[in-house]
Structure 1
């Protein structure tokens, strides 16, 4: 099992394709991310733009991405 703290909703890739606008509206209203799953595994997180900018200001995402691919 994986940790989903800060994520109040989970959607599949298929749901993301079919319900993109609804999922984006949910993220914008709640300011919480939506965990996107592929084959029942965490794949990505859909998050509000303002929240993303705050995270980006606090965390060097470039260094994180190189750690993940290493």
Structure 2
């Protein structure tokens, strides 16, 4: 996880030129949100396939609400 975090951080910094503190908040938001989505999916009896859930989480993490358009 730490390696992915470092790679993502370096790429994000090169694209946005924001500071590390903002990246940390975004990172926490994405990870926590993903965990809650997975918990909800499990609680609902895994009504979608793991692949469908991966696409949903990935789209939201990478595109935010704009992927809903």
Question: Which has the greater radius of gyration?
Answer: 2
Same fold (TM over 0.5): no
Q: Which has the higher strand share?
A: 1
TM-score of the pair, normalised by structure 1: 0.25
Q: Which has the higher helix share?
A: 2
